[in-house]
Amino acid sequence: MEKGSVFAMALEQLNSAAKLLKLDDNILRVLSHPERELTVSLPVVMDDGNIEVFTGHRVQHSSARGPCKGGIRYHQNVTLDEVKALSTWMTWKCAVVNIPYGGGKGGITVDPTKLSDNEIRRMTRRYTVAIMPIIGPHSDIPAPDVNTSSETMGWIMDTVSMMRGSTVLDIVTGKSVELGGSLGRREATGRGVMFNTIELLKRLDKDPKKTTVAVQGFGNVGSVSADLLSKEGCKIMAVSDVSGAYYNPNGLPIADMIAYCTTSKNRLLEGFSAAGISKISNEELLQLDVDVLVPAALEKQITIENAEKIKAYAIVEGANGPTTPDAERILIKKGKHVVPDILANSGGVVVSYFEWVQSIQSFFWTEEEVNKNLERVEVDAFDAVWTLAQREKQDLRNAAMMIAVDRVAKAVKARGIWP
C-alpha cells in the first residue's frame, strides 16, 4: 500500500469498528477488499489535433446491500488508492443512512482547468464507454463529484443511451432536471451537512443564532453548507477555495459570494472583495476560534500536524476523509465532536437514491417533498448514531461505523459467499 495511503485510512476505520462489533474475521476479510477495480486508458483527441492519454478508474467496493453508488471526480491527484478508499466510504455512507446501495467511486487523473469544454466532453464520453461493461441502473450508478456536474452526468447518460439505442435515465444520478434529475439534488450534500450540524447543536444545547462557523472549500458542498447554515442563523466567519481563504469576524455575505462565483474565472472567489473582508491562509482558517468547522474540500486536511491547533468544538465533515485517524484521536481527546463524513455528507447519495427511484418510476417529486424526505432520513440517521454513541460511550465516527459495518456484514452473511 502506497505511503500516505488514503485506503489505509479507510481500513483503519473499518478495523476499529470491527473490533467494537467483535466482527467475524472472515466477514472482515471480505469487507477489506473491493469487489472490483477497473483501470482504463483514455486516448483523447485534443483541440490542437494531438492525442493525450488519460488514466481513469472505477472501483466497486460492495454490492451486498444493492447496486454500487458513487461519484466520478476529475482531479490531477486522483489515484487508484484514493478511489478505493472513497468507494469503501460510500459503502458505509449508504448503510448508515439505510438506503439499498453499496459503495462505488470513479475518477480520472486530469486537471480539468487545462482542458477546453470540448476536450472534457470527449474525455467523458471515452471514459463512459470504457467503464460501460460494469455500470448500469442495477449494478453501478455514477454521480457527480469533484470537478464534475449535472452537465457531465448528461454526457454520460447520453453516451450510454446512444450505445444502447434507447434513453437510459437511471444510469446516473445528479443529472439536470431536464434529463430526469431530481429537484434539490444539487443542494443535497450541503443541505445534509446543515441538517447534521443543526442536530448536533440541538444535542449540545447550542443556539444556531449564537454559533460561528468556518467552511473550508467553496465548491458545491461548501457553498451550499455555508448558505444554508447562514439561513439558520449561524455566522459564517470564513470560507475558502483554491484561490485562498476569506475572513470577516462580523460574518461574510455568503449569498453575494455565491453570486460572484457564478461568473468568475473557473468559478473561484479570487478577486472578491467587500467591506471587512481580509485574506487569510487555509491553515489559519482551520485554526480559527469558531464554534463549528466544516472541512468541505479534499481528504487529509486535518492532520497530526495541525489537530492540536483546531479551536472549533465541532467538526462536521463536508468532504470525504478530511480528518486523519491520528488527528481525530487528538480532537476527541480534547473533547471535540467530529460528525464523520459518512454521516455528515450523506445528503447527496440520499437524494441520488430519490432521483434513481423517480427515474425508474418516471414519477417526479416536488422539491419540498425531496427536502422533507431528506430531512427525515438525515435526522433519523443522526439520532441513531448519537444514541449508540451515548449508550456505548463511543465517538460519533465509531458509532456511525458500527451501525454501517453491522448492516453490511449482516447482508453478506445473509447472502452467503458464492459459490
The predicted pLDDT at position 197 comes to 98
Q: How do residues 109-163 score in pLDDT, each as one tens digit? A: 999 999 999 999 999 999 999 999 999 999 999 999 989 999 999 999 999 999 9
DSSP-assigned beta bridge partners for residue 338: 315
Q: What's the maximum distance between 2 C-alpha atoms anywhere in the chain?
A: 67
The predicted pLDDT at position 129 comes to 98
The predicted pLDDT at position 271 comes to 92
**What does pLDDT average to over the chain?**
96
**Virtual CA dihedral for 261, 341, 334, 9, nearest 10 degrees?**
-110
Q: Is 51 exposed, middle or buried (0-12, 13-18, 19+ CB in 10 A)?
A: exposed
Q: Is residue 276 situated within a structural domain? A: yes
175 pLDDT exceeds 80? yes
Q: Under 8 Å CB-to-CB from 174, ≥6 apart: which residues?
A: 71, 143, 144, 149, 150, 153, 181, 185, 186, 348, 352, 355
pTM of the model: 0.94
CATH code of the domain covering residue 269 = 3.40.50.720
Same domain, 69 and 113: yes
Contact (CB, 8 A) for 295 and 217: yes
CA gap 140, 95 in Å, rounded? 16
Q: Is residue 277 situated within a structural domain? A: yes
Q: Under 8 Å CB-to-CB from 8, ≥6 apart: which residues?
A: 1
Instruction: Work out the average pLDDT over 258-275.
Output: 93
278 pLDDT exceeds 70? yes
The predicted pLDDT at position 267 comes to 87
The predicted pLDDT at position 265 comes to 87
Q: Exactly one of 105, 175, 235, 336 is catalytic; which is it?
A: 105
The predicted pLDDT at position 298 comes to 86
Q: Is residue 383 situated within a structural domain? A: no
Same domain, 208 and 240: yes
Domain that holds residue 107: 34-169
Same domain, 202 and 134: no
1 pLDDT exceeds 90? no
Q: Is residue 229 situated within a structural domain? A: yes
Q: Which of 381, 386, 396 is nearest to 192 (CA)?
A: 381
Q: Is residue 361 situated within a structural domain? A: no
- In eight-state DSSP terms, residue 209 is G
Q: What's the number of domains the chain is made of?
A: 2
Contact (CB, 8 A) for 147 and 112: yes
Q: Which residue has the higher pLDDT, 4 or 366?
A: 366
DSSP-assigned beta bridge partners for residue 7: none
210 pLDDT exceeds 70? yes
Instruction: Work out the average pLDDT over 196-220.
Output: 97
Task: Please give the grid coordinates belonging to residue 84.
Answer: 478505493
Q: Is 116 exposed, middle or buried (0-12, 13-18, 19+ CB in 10 A)?
A: exposed
The predicted pLDDT at position 2 comes to 62
Same domain, 198 and 114: no
Name the least confident of 89-103, 255-269, 392-406: 255-269
Same domain, 147 and 204: no
CATH code of the domain covering residue 159 = 3.40.50.10860
CA gap 120, 116 in Å, rounded? 6
Same domain, 72 and 219: no
The predicted pLDDT at position 255 comes to 96
Same domain, 226 and 306: yes
4 pLDDT exceeds 80? no
Query: Would you tell me how many other CB atoms lie within 10 Å of the CB of residue 249?
Result: 14
The predicted pLDDT at position 327 comes to 97
Contact (CB, 8 A) for 191 and 184: yes
105 is known as an active-site residue: yes
Instruction: Work out the average pLDDT over 267-287.
Output: 94
